[in-house]
Structure 1
Amino acid sequence: MSRAGAGSPDAVASTSTMNEHQHEHEHQHEHEHEPAVDARQLHATLDEYLQLEHKFQPRLCLPAECDGNEVSTGARDGAAHVLRCLKVWYDLPADVLISAVNLFDRFLTKMKVRPCHVPCITVSCMSIALREHAALTGQRAKVSVEELVSVSQSACTAGDVARMSRVISDKLALAGPHATVTPLHWLRLLRAAVLSAAATLRLRPPVQLLPESVLEKQLELAACDAACANVRSPCLALVLLYHTLEQQLVEWSRMSAVPAAAYCLYDCALQLQAYCHMCDESLRVAGARVREVLARYEARAAAPQRQRLVWRLSERTLKVLRPTDRLTSLLPTIEEQHLAAETSPPRNRSGSESSESEETSDWPRSPVLPVYCHN
């Protein structure tokens, strides 16, 4: 008898062998399933998240239009768009983006910020999120502050980002013992609870149930929109689970008959809703906002890209480029050689119509350097 624990390689190998024999008699083509999760651990984590929810929940009250003294909702969405572009550019995990957006919204909740400081705050939030993720994973941050400043074009320095990061850390009390609980943590927790209920019901769908990559992408879209900024984190996560579960049931109905146990997953979601003290009205409002954001994104993704490329040159670049406004498009007629020898006088190459005079040409030339000979 093996004395290996639950997390040892021997235990994992024996468990996988038993599962292979069991699945061989039930399903010939079975997809990989999520690992089993302890229900008591899920319940304890859920209680901990509920206690810390008020600390990490933003409550934005931004004007719709910018008046020059306060950040508007459009500026907030612009900053979130910059954060998502940095996430895509450096291929960062979703944890960094959701944490950076959460830090940005919480800082705007506590502080009145001028619009000119938004770029520096945006880069600082991304820097803090990268540092927190590196500390949690035990890895080195793959993006430096200088790279963030250069790619984001925030017109600030690394020193400005370092000072702003200290201000954000002090105002949000980031030096506490608890890590930031973002909507992504809630989404993973509630998803694990639904998957645990599906395993209890012995529900074996033909495709993966509630794919995490799809849920993370939908959460990124919702978090970057100001309409979903004040939605409770558990409410936002549960709405995304409902939305994905509905799409999953529609897909099941197209492939084959929907298992009766699949509808029991709604009962699990209802129990989570009651445990997290979410009323039906707040869930309905949050669901309408999330569906509107997702529908707007899908409409833009389905539309053909007809944007023309526009090259924008700075004044310094224009001074270096050779001007073409004085070049004529009409070229002189070139005569035959035997006629040109008799009628055409010899031409000087310096008199070409397409060349420019030395006084008017601003094409860069090499400087003339004196040469000293020691005789």
Structure 2
Amino acid sequence: MLRAGARHPDAGPSTSSDAMDMEQVYATLNEYLQMEHKFQPNLCLPNESENGEVTTGARDGAAHVIRCLKVWYDLPADVPIDAISLLDRFLTKMKVRPCHVPCITVACMNIAIEQYAQNNKEARKVSIEELVSISQSACTARDVARMSRVVVDKLALASGARGVTALHWLRLVRALLAPHCPKDQLPPESELVNLLEIVVCDAECVNARVPELALVLLYHKLEQQLVETSRQTGAPLPEQAYQLFEVGAQLQQYCHMSDASLVATRSRVRHVLARYEARAAAPQRQRLVWRLSERTLKVLRPTDRLTSLLPTIEEQHFAVEATPTRNRSGSECSVSEETSDWPRSPVLPVYCDN
């Protein structure tokens, strides 16, 4: 039995305008389910490279570079999520060398920026040259353009076609839950997107089903809000909270999510978020280190004309009979002084006659 207000995706159409909007949401849900297999990655990367393979650490590093580029250029969340999806799908289909991963990463970011500009009918804000310069990928703009064509060809990306990513699923699941959740309890989209960016940058969740990932993230944030509200007010969970969980169970059944798979995805997501929060809460003791290339170092401090070998200084040798006899005064020898102050010390050894 459904509780009051709960509506199954298979329910019949209604006459209200809200019901018409929900019918469109359900139609989008069916469309996403049909295209799910096309955009689902299946990575099998080793933790350590034995035969020159790309590791999970290299993949996570590339994903974090994409996220840093998003923050640097203040790009919308659609761009990095789409770029990481392209990267995972390309690594699933093609076997690449680790030295090509930086170029592939910038190429996926380039494709995502271009697709976002085409879908929203706006001018592109970031050029390929800027991506190459900031990412420090050690490749040229021509290399990125050529690699972008390879990625488009191997993934069969149609011009102007929109890929269904985890962000689309997250917005769709949030829209499905909105009619059953008060506006003050519905998790903000910005917070959900931040959690999604954290999760997709970790290889532990890369092979999880995208609808499961969206459902787990939404209810993870919703549970946190409900527990926090219940602790502040001291009251038990309201009846509407149980209705929200029932809607989630209905969506799970409609999308054919098994309990075992959903529990596994929930465990991985919580582990990744807990590890991220622990890392963020730990004090930062790492010192800031600037790493410069040889070319940049020569520009900042030219050393091409300097040599490591210095010419030998020949000492003057006097005859024994020509050398005047001198006695050292009663002052202390300079050898006993602190050598650390020697370059700055004005004291010099003094010689005097008898």
TM range (shorter): 0.7 to 0.9
Q: Rate the CA distance shift 1:327–1:85 in 2: closer, same or farther, 3 A.
A: farther
Contact 1:37–1:196 at 8 Å: present in 2 too?
A: no
Q: Per the alignment, in what secondary structure is the counterpart of residue 155 of structure 1?
A: coil
Give the CA deviation at 1:208. Answer: 4.5
Using the TM superposition, give the Cα deviation of residue 177 of structure 1 relative to its aligned residue in structure 2, in angstroms. 6.9
Partner deviation per Cα, 1:227-260 (whole Å, 9 max, x = no partner): 1111010010011012111101112202333432
Residue 293 (1) aligns with residue 272 (2): yes
**How big is the shift at 1:327?**
10
Q: Secondary structure at the match of 1:124?
A: helix
Deviation of 1:318 (Å): 4.7
Distance, in Å, in 2 between the alignment partners of 1:67 and 1:81 is 23
The one-letter amino acid of 1:306's match is: R
> Which of residues 220, 229, 247 in structure 2 aligns to 1:252?
229
Equivalent residue for 2:252, pick from 267, 273, 279: 273
| Counterpart residue number, 1:307 | 286
The TM-score normalised by the length of structure 1 is: 0.74
Distance 2:27 2:160 in 1: 18
In 2, the alpha carbon distance for the partners of 1:240 and 1:312 equals 37
Question: 73, 96, 100: which is aligned to 2:79?
Answer: 96
Please name the residue that 1:163 is paired with. Answer: 146
Which shifted more, 246-255 or 52-61?
Answer: 246-255
Distance 1:162 1:277, change over 3 A: same
- How much does 1:330 deviate? 3.4
CA distance in 1, matches of 2:107, 2:57: 19
Q: Call closer, same or farther: CA 1:48–1:91 in 2, change over 3 Å.
A: same
Distance 1:163 1:293 in 2: 35
Q: Which residue of 2 aligns with 1:209?
A: 186
Shift of 1:291: 0.6
Q: Give me the whole-angstrom Cα distance separating, in 2, the residues matched to 1:148 and 1:327.
A: 49
Taking the aligned partners of 2:65 and 2:257, their CA distance within structure 1 comes to: 32
User: Does the Cα contact within 8 Å between 1:104 and 1:121 map onto a contact in 2?
Assistant: yes
In structure 1, what is the equivalent of residue 220 of structure 2? Answer: 243
Question: What is the 5 A alignment of 1:1-375?
Answer: 38-175=21-158, 178-198=161-181, 203=182, 207-256=184-233, 257=235, 258-312=237-291, 314=294, 316=298, 317-319=300-302, 328-333=342-347
Count of matched residue pairs: 296
Greater CA drift, 67-76 or 299-308: 67-76
Report the 3-state secondary structure (helix = DSSP H, G, I; strand = E; otherwise coil) of the residue aligned with 2:35: helix
Q: Give CA deviations for 1:160-213 in whole Å, capped at 9, x if unaligned.
A: 111110110011111167410000000000011011222xxxx46xx4421111
Assess, with a 3 A threshold, how the Cα gap between structure 1 residues 308 and 175 changes in structure 2: closer, same or farther.
same
* TM-score relative to the length of structure 2: 0.78
Aligned to 1:11: none
CA distance in 2, matches of 1:311, 1:222: 29
SS at match of 2:343: coil
Report the Cα distance in structure 2 between the residues aligned to 1:177 and 1:277, rounded to whole angstroms. 30
Deviation at 1:67, TM superposition (A): 2.7
SS in 1 for 2:288: coil
Contact between 1:80 and 1:224, CA under 8 Å: does it hold in 2? yes
Gap change, CA 1:83 and 1:68, over 3 Å in 2: farther
* C-alpha deviation, 1:319, in angstroms: 4.1
Q: Match for 1:303: what amino acid?
A: A
Offset of 1:300 from its aligned partner? Answer: 1.1
Aligned partners of 1:37 and 1:192 also within 8 Å: no
How far residue 69 of structure 1 moved from its aligned partner, in angstroms, is: 2.8
Cα deviation digits, residues 86-107 of structure 1 (max 9, x gap): 1111111111010000000000
Identity of counterpart residues, as a percentage?
Answer: 63
- The structural deviation recorded for 1:283 is 0.6
Structure 1, unaligned stretches of length 5 or more?
1-34, 335-342, 345-375
